[in-house]
Amino acid sequence: MFQPIVQFGTSRFLQAHVDLFVSQALAGEAGASHALGGITVVQTTTRAEGAARVAALATGAPYPVRVRGCQDGARIDQTYYANAIRGALQADTQWPQVRQAVLHAQVLVSNTGDTGYALDLADGPAMLASDGAVPASFPAKLLVLLAGRWQQRPDAPLTLLPCELVQDNGDVLRQLLIRLAQRWALSQTFCVWLQQHCVWANSLVDRIVSQALEPVGAVAEPYALWAVQRQVGLVMPCQHPCIVLTDDLARYERLKLFLLNAGHTYLAERWHALKRPPRQTVREAMSDSQQRGELESFWDEEVLPVFDLLGQLPQAQAYLATVRERFENPFLEHHIADIFQNHAQKKQRRFAPLLALAEQHGSTLALSRMHAALASAATEPLSGITAN
């Protein structure tokens, strides 16, 4: 049986975010409702840990999501069981089944990691054939799958909901696929279909999911947000209190990127410079007077003043209060070594736009901490750290 939702990615984040939301909607729990139906997940890589998750998810057995932390001063420790995933496929070994799943889907969700939009020069138009090789990159995989759908079901509505942490992720992914289609010399009619028929949603996800459970499941914080830019024709997998449709997605993006994400990255920058323990957690850093003091100074002197220039200081202060509560979560083992992965790229994505925004609004702030971080060579993990 084909499911209305196809999800690219098997990560612990998706298990505790989108998949949990849909599960709760199917059960009419947690104020959620109107789920389209079940989910088929697709592993897009060949990593062994992903294969193990696919095998576990393919059984259809409910898996635990343990929500632990503080919210509005109250401690929460509750386990939910998610059961929205009704099928699990591995793209490289089950490509025909993946093609069929996408052919019948109403919504495609993706979260393919920091390098998920990278292309592979080995991919080419020969892969469009029904017996063609499986593309290596996610964008090429998606292009082949959408080309097959266009050929067989061109009038069927389709919403794509990228969850990768890329600004304007829907627009970026759409333009990437159109450029790839043009490079492969695909028809202009197909390119127009990609541009105008498919609904590409810009979205922002916000939840710390700090630990995977074996063989499948996750430990997550209480806070969760999926903000999606409203547009004509948009179809969501479900309705849920943590899903927000908005005409001002940029506001949510700035809050998360410049307060939570940049806070994480600055904490990781100083963790590396101060040579703190390799397995130090965010909670432990928040209890270290030097690390906590430097982070608070970063927020107070370099981030909040930029929100003040934008006329959004009260909203930023309110969001920062939730971020502090989340960073101090007494339950989550959120290792800074994990945050430090792809550190150089994260600094560019999180500090450079904030500096540009300050300059755009005529700021005279020195913002010396961000300038120093961007100039530093803190790009390699300390000896002995094993990234998850």
pLDDT score for 115: 81
Residue linked to tokens 């029904």? 130
CA separation for the pair 336, 365 (Å, rounded): 28
Contact of 211 with 218, CB cutoff 8 Å: yes
Q: What is the pLDDT of residue 379?
A: 53
Query: Residue 58's closest CA among 80, 89, 37?
Result: 89
Residue 223: per-residue pLDDT: 95
Cβ-contact 164, 67 below 8 angstroms: no
Give the pLDDT score at 48. Answer: 83
Secondary structure, 3-state, the chain: CCCCEEEECCCHHHHHCHHHHHHHHHHCCCCCECCCCCEEEEECCCCHHHHHHHHHHCCCCCEEEEEEEEECCEEEEEEEEECCEEEEEECCCCHHHHHHHHHCCCEEEECCCCCCCCCCCCCCHHHHCCCCCCCCCHHHHHHHHHHHHHHHCCCCCCEEEECCCCCCHHHHHHHHHHHHHHHCCCCHHHHHHHHHHCEECCEEEECCEEEECCCCCEEECCCCEEEEECCCCCCCCCECCCEEEECCHHHHHHHHHHHHHHHHHHHHHHHHHHCCCCCCEHHHHHCCHHHHHHHHHHHHHHHHHHHHHCCCHHHHHHHHHHHHHHHCCCCCCCEHHHHCCCHHHHHHHHCHHHHHHHHHCCCCCCCHHHHHHHHCCCCCCCCCCCCC
Is the sign of the CA dihedral 142, 143, 149, 152 positive or negative? negative
Tokens of 246: 């908005």
pLDDT of residue 1: 85
Identify the structural domains of the chain with CATH numbers, from first to last: 5-247 (3.40.50.720), 250-375 (1.10.1040.10)
- Token pair, residue 267, equals 């904490």
Q: Find where tokens 């750290």 sit.
A: 385
Burial of residue 99 (CB within 10 Å: 0-12, 13-18, 19+) is middle
The reported pLDDT for the residue numbered 381 is 47
CA separation for the pair 315, 307 (Å, rounded): 9
pTM score, two decimals? 0.88
Residue 221 is predicted with a pLDDT of 94
What's the pLDDT score for residue 210? 82
User: pLDDT at position 202, please?
Assistant: 98
Type of residue at 151: Q
Contact in structure between 101 and 89 (CB atoms under 8 Å): yes
pLDDT digits (tens, 9 = 90+) for 140-195: 999 999 999 999 999 999 999 999 988 899 999 999 999 999 999 999 999 999 99
Look at the alpha carbons of 172, 177, 182, 184 in this order and tell me if their dihedral is positive or negative.
positive
From first to last of the 388 residues of the chain, give the pLDDT tens digit.
899 999 999 999 999 999 999 999 999 999 999 999 999 999 998 888 888 899 999 999 999 999 999 988 899 999 999 999 999 999 999 999 999 999 999 999 999 977 899 999 999 999 999 888 999 999 999 999 999 999 999 999 999 999 998 889 999 999 999 999 999 999 999 999 999 999 999 999 999 898 899 999 999 999 999 999 999 999 999 999 999 999 999 999 999 999 999 999 999 999 999 999 999 999 999 999 999 999 999 999 999 999 999 999 999 999 999 999 999 999 888 899 999 998 998 999 899 999 999 999 988 889 999 999 999 976 554 433 323 2
Q: How confident is the prediction for the chain on average, in pLDDT?
A: 94
Between CA 23 and CA 6 the distance in angstroms is: 14
Percent of the chain whose pLDDT exceeds 90:
87
Residue 215 CB: number of other CB atoms within 10 A? 13
* Maximum separation of any 2 CA atoms in the chain, in Å: 61
Please give the angle made by the CA atoms of 179, 183 and 186, to the nearest 5 degrees.
95
**Cα–Cα dist 266/285, whole Å:** 12
Q: Would you tell me how many other CB atoms lie within 10 Å of the CB of residue 238?
A: 21
pLDDT at position 47 is: 84
